Structure 1
Amino acid sequence: MSEGSAVSQRSVVSRIAVVTGAGSGIGRAVALELAEAGWSVVLAGRREDALAETARLAGSGALPVRTDVTRPAEVDALFATVRDRFGRLDLLFNNAGAFGPPVPLDELSYEDWRAVVDTNLTGAFLCAQGAFRLMRAQDPQGGRIINNGSISAHVPRPHSIAYTATKHAMTGLTKSLSLDGRRYSIACGQIDIGNAATEMTERMSTGILQANGEVRAEPVMDAADVARTVRHMAALPLEANVQFATVMATAMPYIGRG
């Protein structure tokens, strides 16, 4: 290995990432992909047993930190752990999310609405704020935030008003973070994912309500394909940014949905 290659490899190994919702699904897939690429990955999520399993799969470079992203004190503790353990943060994958019950709008309870908003929007803001503070203060300054949007950041599914509203709001969060982070070398992008095979999307393969009232199965893709896209976005130098990326099952009914 040449001297230049060795320096490059050490640089990759030294990178620090936080992945929220890392106990399963997209979060776990991304955490494993980053760990494979040499990142040290801080795994955030509410379920300790699930985080421990992700950490086991990821290897010695993974650190599980139980975190409920809807609770400001727990988010503060997460980023304090990152600062104290590693001294810096290079990447936040803002991934934790909830869909909520798929019920007609007039049957959605306030409690269910609030739970989705608190997780998908307020939780994403709190984590972005914590990452932003670290990235702005550290030396060298800067870092990257990648938000998990959704196909629903563009078009809704039936009976998804809370999820759709928060994912549209995620796009605004991404744009504001990009603008506010520009002077501090903090890049922010968004990955909009359609029908990745996870626990959250199991019903896609058995049948899901369509805009025309039919219920039918939809194609899904491997979550590893999403993870490789996040890895590419994360590996770019801070002078370059994927602002928005859409990764979806090729045959899913997205184009022309509705």
Structure 2
Amino acid sequence: MAKINFNIAGKTALVTGGSRGIGLEIAKRLSAGGVKVAICGRKQDALEAARKELGGDSLAVAAHIAKEEDVDRMFNTIIEKFGGLDILINNVGMNIFTPAIGEIENSLWQKIIDSNLNGTYYCSKKAAKLMKEQKSGKIVSITSTAGTKASPGMGVYGIAKAGIEMMTKVLAAELAPFNVQVNAVAPGMVRTDFSKPFWSNPEFLSVLVSRIPMGRIAEIEDIVNPVLFFASEGSSFVTGQTLFVDGGVTVV
């Protein structure tokens, strides 16, 4: 009986937002698995500190992925260093509480859409062309349960994440003939420094956990493992899917 192949050694990967939190842990696990890893973010000092944690054959590139010219430059740097790209992890995103859709300022709308949806689009667009030519590749995007369940105060974020889910399906359909798989992972609340203002509030956390069938919020490792599955050959016949890693929130 053939065994599922989760080997990723020898591949090359880009993890956006790879200097901290979920992105850094994904990058560390990829590097430990023998992958040449590039990480990007907007602060070079934070990126260099993260790169030292990765060790191995790694690269840190400062880039604002909401700017297509930055994405073009970043991909050129990665290709020059590694010779290509096998895995793209779209991890960059931002979430802040916002007014109702009818009251939000256009500038805030644009900022959230740029960080979440447009940045993912620019990186996926570049990776899609490259992977189509090489007839192989993996694109994995981090989305959110907010893209499926309407959440007051998180409307723009949810709209952006819903867009990423549809982008995942469209890219999967377009790239399937070229042996490129495109999937997404949708966490609920995750215990990270970024989300600390939420989960560190005992009253808020109690209400939140009461709505999660499994009775807890996610740890970073809960998100990293599904991402690695989608990045590996173990998911070679899976594409266009969004995997909800939320302790059952979206099924009740």
Question: Is the structural similarity TM-score above 0.5?
Answer: yes
Give the Å deviation of 1:221. Answer: 2.1
Equivalents in 1 of 2:198, 2:233: separation in Å?
Answer: 33
* One-letter amino acid of the counterpart of residue 232, structure 2: A
1:143 is aligned to: 137
Q: 2:56 aligns with which of 48, 54, 60?
A: 60
Shift of 1:64: 0.4
Unpaired runs of at least 5, structure 1: 1-7
Are 2:22 and 2:224, in contact at CA under 8 Å, matched by a contact in 1? yes
Which residue of the other structure, out of 220, 223, 235, is the alignment partner of 1:223?
220
SS at match of 2:195: helix
Which deviations, in whole Å up to 9, do the C-alpha atoms of 1:57-115 show, x marking residues without a partner?
11132210111101111100111112211122110001111113343444422111100
In the aligned structure 2, how far is the partner of 1:145 from the partner of 1:99? 22
Does the residue aligned with 2:166 lie in a helix, a strand or coil? helix
What is the CA–CA distance in structure 2 between the aligned matches of 1:217 and 1:163, rounded to whole Å?
18
Greater displacement, 230-239 / 26-35: 230-239
1:78 maps to 2:74: yes
**Counterpart secondary structure, 1:199:** coil
The amino acid that maps onto 1:236 is: E
For residues 172 and 200 of structure 1, what CA distance do their matches in structure 2 show? 25
The 8 Å contact of residues 99 and 160 in structure 1, kept in 2 or not, is answered as: yes
The 5 A counterparts of 1:72-151 are 72-138=68-134, 141-151=135-145
The alignment-based identity, stated in percent, is: 24
Relative distance call for 1:204 and 1:255 in structure 2 (3 A) is farther
Work out whether 1:245 is the aligned partner of 2:243: yes
Equivalent AA in structure 2 for residue 151 of structure 1: T
Pick closer, same or farther for the CA change 1:227–1:238 going to 2, 3 Å: closer
Report the alpha carbon displacement of residue 42 of structure 1 after superposing the two structures with TM: 0.5
AA partner of residue 107 (structure 2) = E
Describe the superposition over 1:151-193 as per-residue Cα deviations: whole angstroms up to 9, x where unpaired.
1121022211110100111111000100111121111001111
| One-letter amino acid of the structure 2 residue matched with residue 38 of structure 1 | G
Pair 208,186 (structure 1): closer, same or farther in 2 beyond 3 Å: farther
SS in 2 for 1:68: coil
Cα distance between partner residues in 1 of 2:203 and 2:167? 29
Q: Does 1:190 align with 2:184?
A: yes
2:9 is matched with which residue? 13
- Normalized against structure 2, the TM-score is what? 0.87
8 Å CA contact 2:66–2:119 kept in 1: the answer is yes
For residues 109 and 131 of structure 1, the distance between their equivalents in structure 2, rounded to whole angstroms, comes to: 32
Corresponding letter in the other structure for 1:174: T
Larger RCO, structures 1/2 (Cα 8 Å, 6+ apart): 2
What amino acid maps onto 1:247 in structure 2? Answer: V
Distance 1:130 1:208 in 2: 43
Corresponding residue SS for 1:65: strand
State the AA in 2 paired with 1:152.
A
> What residue number does 1:173 align with?
167
Aligned to 1:157: 151
CA–CA separation in structure 2 for the residues paired with 1:110 and 1:42: 33
Q: Contact conserved, 2:13 with 2:85, CA < 8 A, in 1?
A: yes
Kept in 1: contact 2:98–2:156 (CA 8 A): no
TM-score (norm 1): 0.85
Q: 1:198-218 CA deviation, whole Å, 9 max, x = no partner?
A: 1232133234998xxx99454
3-state DSSP of counterpart to 2:73? helix
Letter in 1 for 2:242: F
